A and B are shown apart, each in its own frame.
Chain A
Amino acid sequence: MSDLPADLEAVRTRVLAEITDASTVAALDDIRVAALGKKGEVSLMMRGLGKMSPDEKKIMGPALNGLKTSLNAAVEARKTDLENVALDAALASETMDMSLPVGSPNGTLHPVSQVMEEMAAIFSDMGFSVAEGPDIEDDFHNFTALNFPPGHPARDMHDTFFLEDGEKVLRTHTSPVQIRTMINQKPPIRIIAPGRTYRSDSDQTHTPMFHQVEGLVIDKGIHMGHLKGVLMDFVSAFFETDVDVQFRPHHFPFTEPSAEMDVRYERDGAAIKIGQGEKWMEILGCGMVHPNVLRACGLDPDEYQGFAFGMGVDRLAMLKYGMPDLRDMFAGDSRWLGHYGFDPLVQANLATGLS
C-alpha cells in the first residue's frame, strides 16, 4: 500500500470507492470534479502546500501528487469501462439477420462463345489471328473461288440457303473468309475465322444456323505434316487431355490433298469421352489449299502453298461440355443458359487454363 499520511489515505480510499461505484460517465465526471477539479478536495489540499513549511512540503508535495495521479488513473480506467459497457449496450440493439439473402445472380456467357475464345487462345499461341467475313455471301466467295464449279454435285451437298434475288447465298461454311483473306492480305497468312454458317437442315444434330471455325495457313514450305501437327496440337489442347487422332483421306473441292480427322472416343452412358476408347468420331475436314483456289485469289501455287481446315464449333462445344441437343444452343432458354453458360469473369487462356 501507499505510505500516504493517514488523512490522505482516507481521502484516497473514499474517492476510489466513489469512482468504482460511479455507474455513468456523468456521475464519474462529477466525482472527478469534486476531487480533482479546480475547487476539488485534492486541488484545494494542493493549494494549501504553499502555506506549509519546507519539511511538511517535502512530505505532502509528493504525497498529494501521488494521490492525484492515482485518482486520475482510476477515473480514466473507470471511464473506459463505463464507455465499453455503454457501447456494448448500444450494440446489443444493433442487430441484423445475417441469414437474409443478398444480391442477385450474375448472367452467364454462351458456351459457343466460350469455345470460340478457347480456340482463339490456342491458335493465337500458334500465331493465328482471328478474321471475319459477311454472313451473306456471293457465289464467287462461297463456291466458285473455292473450286466448286457451277453445277458441281458438291454444291448440292451444302443445302444452301438462297436469298430471293437469286444472287446471294447465306454462307454454307466459313471458307469464304479464306478467299477474302488471301485476296486482301499477303502471305505469310495464319488466320482462324469463326462465325455463323447456314445450311437448310434441321434435326437433333443439325440446325439451319450453326458455327464453324476455319483455319488457313499460307506460306512457303508449309506442308501436310504441318497441318497434321497443328490439328493434333489443337485437339489435345482443346480437350485438355492427350487425344489420339486418325487422319484419313477425304474430298473437298477446295483442298488437294483433302483429309478428315477423327478422334478416339467412347460412350459412358449418355456421356461421350473424347481421347480414349475404341471408336473414331470425325471432328473436322482439312487439306492443302487447292491450286485453283490459290490462283483465284491471285497467288501463284508454285510460290505459295498452305493448308486450311474447318470444324463445327457447336459440335466441339457439345463434345467438351456435354450439351445433348444442338437445337437448345439457339433457343435462348434462361435455364439452359444458366446451366451450360460460363462465369463472365473467366477468360480462357493458356496461362490459367481454358475453363
Chain B
Amino acid sequence: MKFTLSWLKRHLKTDATIEEVAEAMTLAGLEVEEIIDPSKALSAFTIAHVISAEKHPDADKLQVCQVETVDGPKQIVCGAPNARAGIAVAYAPLGAYIPGLDFALDKKPRKIRGVESSGMMCSGKELEMGDDHDGILELDPAEYSVGQAVSDAMGVNDPVIDFEVTPNRPDWLGVNSIARDLAAVGLGELITPAIEPIAGTFPCDQEVIIKAADGCPAFSYRIIRGVKNGPSPQWLQDQLKSIGLRPISTLVDITNYVTYDRARPLHFYDLSKLQGAITVRHGNNEAFDALDDKSYTVTDADVAITDETGVIGLGGIVGGVSTGCDENTTDILVESAYFDPLTIRRSAKRLTVNSDAKYRFERGVDTGGLVDGVDLATRLVLDMCGGEPSEIKIAGEIPATPANVAFNTDLVARLTGLNLSDDEMEKILTDLGFGVSKGETWDITVPSFRRDAVGGADLVEEIARIHGFHNLDAVSLPSLPGRREPTATLTQNRTRLARRALAQQGLSEAITWSFALEDHAKAFDGGQANLALDNPISNDLNWMRPSALIHLLLAGQRSANQGYPGAALFELGPIFQGTAPNEQSLSLAGMRRVEPSRDWAGIVDITALTAKADVLAALGTMGANTDNLQVMDAVGTYWHPGRSASLRLGPKNVLASFGELHPRTLKALGIEGRVVAFEIAPDNLPAPRKKSASKAKPALALSDFMPVHRDFAFIASEDVRAGDILKAAKGADKQLISNVSLFDVYRGKGVEEGHKSLAIDVTLTPKAATLTDADIEAVSSKIIEKVMKAGGRLRG
C-alpha cells in the first residue's frame, strides 16, 4: 500500500517529517517497506536564469546561452527552440545524473561544434516530470530565483511511503485508517472530514436484484444525472500519479481515489448503457469483456453483475466494457457494495485477475461504509462533474455489525506484563474507534472496520501495540524447578556423534533438497504416486525423495564435471515412503565417488568395503554393538548385486545397507564411473538397555594368565563368507576365545580353483589356570569342527 505524506495530511494534522511518520508506523505495526522521496532524484537540479541566447555560429538549431546559475555565470549550448533570454530554467551542473536520459553529464565542459558548454538546461521529460513538450522547462524568473531547488519549484516534494498491509488489517488499505492509528500513537490529530449525507432530488428508478446473497449480501446505489466527464483536476491527477496510478477521467479517478482514501471500492456504470434491471447472480459460464482489456468466463462460483444483455461485471473484482464510463457519459449509477471475501478470493485466483477492488474485498471492506461510500462518491462527482443525485437505494442486507467483546482488562498485564491505568487503556481503544463501556468487565463495541478484533487477546494487542512494544520490559525466563534432564533426544545425540564420525572418515556433510526428479526417485525404488508434488518449484524437483543419496550423487557428478573429482559427501535428512508421519524416516546416507586421488604412498582403493568402514564408524559411535550385526543382502534394487550388503540386528531390523551402487541406477541419474555408498537408519537402532540408574561401569576383570595365540588356515569355497568362518571360530568357546582375527586371504597355488585360504589368529585368554597342551588341543578341535560346519576345512 502506497500513500504520500500530503495525502496523509488530509487525514492527520501533523508536523511530522516523512521519517517520523515511517518510524511511528513501524512501531505501531505498519511495516514500512520503502520511503520514496522523488525530490532526491532531482537534488542536483536548481533554477537558473537565462541572460542571453544567441545562435550558434556553426549550427542552425543550436543556441549559445549565457546563464546565471547557482555556480555563477555559465555558457550553455542548447538545442531547445524555446531557450531564450528572460526565462527561468532547470539547470543541471556538470557531472549531474539526468534521470530521464539515464546518463550523467561529463565532469568537464565539452565543446559542441566548437563552442564550450558547461552543464545543461533540462526538459520535463529529462527530469521525469512529464513528456508533453519539445522544449526545456520554462518558468517565470520573477517567481523562481537562481539556486532554488527544482523539486521545490516544481512541487515534486511529496514523499511516498510503501508499507506491508497485514491480512488482519484490511482497513489500512485506506489512508484514513493509517491516520487513525498514527493519531492514536500521538503523531497528530485525526482530521478525516466527515462524510455528509447528500439528499437525493428524485427517486432512484434503477432496480437491483440480488440473487447471490452469499457472494454479495448488499448493494447500495444511486443515480447521478447530468454529469460532465473529462480529465480530473490537477490535484487529483497528481495524487493518483504520486502512488503510481494513471489518471483516466474524472469519474474513474474518483473511484480510484475513494478506494485508496477510505479502502472503499466503488463502481460507476454509464446508465445509458444499462439495459433494464441489474441482477447480481452467480455466473453461468458466460464470457464478458472486462475493463482490464481481458475477457473472463464467469461460472457459478463467481458473482456476476448482469443486466438484460448478460454479464456486465465481475462483482467486486472488475467491471465490464459494455457499461463503462467515457467522455460522453452523462448519467451514472454509483455502486457501493459488499462482496464476500472468500468468494472474491476464489474467483480472482481461478481467473488470475487482480485489481485494487479485489485486493480490498478479499480482505474484507468496512460493512459500515456502504452508504457512506455512495455519499462520498456523490460529493466528489457533484464537485467535479456536476449533476443531480437521486435517492439512495440498498438492495440486500448489510451484514450485521461485529459482536461486542467482553474485556477483562487484567488480561493486559497477564499477557504482556504491562501495568496500564484504566484511563490509558480506554484512551487507546477509543482513539482506535472502539466504544468502551467500563465495568467489572469492559463491554467493548467493535467498529465495523475492525472485524479482526473478536476476543480479549485482540484488544490486548491493540493496547500493547499503541503503547509500544518497545516499552515492554524484557524479563529473562525463570528456571524450571527440579533436576535438568538432557534436552536432546537419543537419536539427536547419536546422529550428532555419527555425523562427526563420518566427517572424521573424510566425508563432508551436505544438506540437499527433500524433493527430487520423478525418474531419479524411481531409480531409488521411490516415485509412489502419492509423493508427487502438485506444484513443484521446477520439473526436476517434483517428487519427494526415497533416498538422501540422489542429490549427493548429482552434486558429486557436478563437482567432477567442474574438474573436482573424488567427492565424498554425506547427509542426515528425511526420506519418504508415503505421506503419513510414520512413513517419513531419518536417513544418514553417504557416498564416495571411486575416483581415488594419486598418492606417493600408493593408492588406497575405494571399494564397497570403504563404505562398510564408514558405516561401522557411524554405527559404532552411535552405540551399536558392531560385532553382533548380521551381514545380509542390501535392501533396495539400486545396490550392486554382488558388492553390497546390509547390517542387521536380527533378520528384520536393517540398520544399514552399503556397498557399490548398481551401474544401472547410476546411469539413470547420469552419474559416470562407480560410486560406493551407504544408507543408515538411525531410528532402527534400539535404545540401550538401562540396567540401573547408576552410570558406574562393572568392575574390570583382568586375567592373570598369559594369552595364547594359535593360527589356523582354512580352505573354503569362494561363496563361503569370511565373516561366517570368523564367527564360527569365535563361537567355538565363548569363555576362552577372546578374539579371532583374519590375517591372510590367499588364492592360488596349493588352493584349488574356486576356493580361498583364510588364515586366522585365535587368541585364547585363560581365566582360571594356565592352559595345558590338552586344553589347547581340545579348543582347537572345537574350532575346526565349528568352522567345518560353516564350510571351511583345515588346510593340510
Contact = CB atoms under 8 A, between A and B. Distances in A.
Interface string B429-460: 00000000000000000000000000111101
Interface string A143-181: 000000001111001000111111110100000000000
B416 A257 contact: yes
Interface stretch (A9-17, A23-31, A223-231, A268-276): A223-231
B460 A135 contact: no
Nearest to A101: B600
B142 interface: no
A113 B576 contact: no
A190 interface: yes
Given A208-B541, A248-B27, A259 B529 contact: no
A120 B511 contact: no
A239 interface: no
A130 B488 contact: yes
Interface in A192-246: 196, 198, 200-202, 208-209, 217, 221-226, 228-230, 232-233, 246
A112 interface: yes
A45 B416 CA distance: 112
Interface residues of B, number: 95
A66 interface: no
A251 B29 contact: yes
A200 to B, nearest CB: 5
15 contacts: A108-B509, A112-B511, A113-B499, A129-B489, A135-B576, A151-B342, A161-B536, A164-B530, A170-B533, A198-B514, A228-B475, A248-B470, A258-B461, A259-B469, A341-B509
Interface stretch (B40-48, B225-233, B324-332, B476-484): B476-484
B579 A163 contact: yes
Nearest to B168: A251
A305 B537 contact: no
Given A110-B510, A165-B530, A257 B415 contact: yes
B542 to A, nearest CB: 9
Q: Which of B362, B414, B507 has the most CB of A within 10 A?
A: B414
Contacts of B477: 126-127, 190, 217, 222, 226, 229-230, 233
Nearest to B491: A132
B607 to A, nearest CB: 16
Q: Which 3 A-B pairs have the closest CB atoms?
A: A332-B555, A249-B29, A251-B166
A111 to B, nearest CB: 9
B532 A164 contact: yes
Interface in A112-141: 112-113, 117, 120, 123-124, 126-130, 132-136
Nearest to A161: B533
Contacts of A248: 26-27, 29, 31, 469-470
A1 interface: no
B345 A107 contact: no
A132 B461 CA distance: 30
A250 interface: yes
A165 B544 CA distance: 13
B569 interface: yes
Given A104-B506, A109-B500, A136-B576, A247 B470 contact: yes
Nearest to A124: B487
A230 B31 CA distance: 23
Given A107-B507, A256-B458, A257-B416, 8 more contacts: A105-B506, A106-B506, A107-B509, A124-B488, A190-B480, A250-B166, A257-B464, A331-B555
Interface string B584-603: 10000000000000001000
Nearest to A251: B166
Contacts of B363: 153
B429 to A, nearest CB: 15
B126 to A, nearest CB: 32
Given A136-B584, A333-B555, A229 B474 contact: yes
A335 interface: yes
A200 B535 contact: yes
A335 to B, nearest CB: 7
A127 B512 contact: no
Contacts of A165: 530, 579
Interface in B370-417: 413-417
A134 to B, nearest CB: 4
Contact of A110 (B511, B533, B564): B511
Nearest to B346: A151
Nearest to A155: B167
Contacts of B499: 109, 113, 344
B339 to A, nearest CB: 14
A126 B500 CA distance: 26
**In which size bucket is the chain A interface?**
35 or more
Q: Which of B514, B536, B559 has the most CB of A within 10 A?
A: B514
Contacts of A331: 512, 555, 558
A163 B508 contact: no
A338 interface: yes
Given A167-B579, A305-B415, A334-B559, A329 B511 contact: yes
Interface of A: 100-101, 104-110, 112-113, 117, 120, 123-124, 126-130, 132-136, 151-154, 157, 161-168, 170, 188, 190, 196, 198, 200-202, 208-209, 217, 221-226, 228-230, 232-233, 246-251, 253, 256-260, 288, 290-291, 301, 305, 329-335, 337-338, 341, 344-345, 347
B102 interface: no
Given A100-B600, A344-B504, A162 B533 contact: yes
Contacts of B479: 127
Given A163-B534, A196-B573, A344 B503 contact: yes
Contacts of B512: 330-332
A188 B504 contact: no
B537 A256 contact: no
B465 interface: yes
A341 B511 CA distance: 11
Interface in B325-366: 341-342, 345-346, 362-363
Contacts of A232: 474
B166 A246 contact: no
Contacts of B504: 106-107, 344-345
Contacts of B544: 136, 163
Contacts of A106: 503-504, 506
A198 B167 CA distance: 21
Contacts of B533: 161-164, 170
B509 A196 contact: no
Q: Which of A107, A108, A112, A331 has the most CB of B within 10 A?
A: A107
B416 A120 contact: no
Contacts of B581: 133-134, 136
A334 B487 contact: no
Nearest to B478: A226
B121 interface: no
A269 B520 CA distance: 42
B510 A163 contact: no
Contacts of A330: 510-513
Contacts of B492: 130
B502 interface: yes
Nearest to A343: B503
B469 A249 contact: yes
B664 interface: no
A253 B508 CA distance: 40
A340 to B, nearest CB: 10
A223 to B, nearest CB: 4
B479 to A, nearest CB: 7
B496 interface: yes
A125 to B, nearest CB: 9
Nearest to B597: A104
A330 to B, nearest CB: 6
Contact of B509 (A113, A132, A250, A258): A113
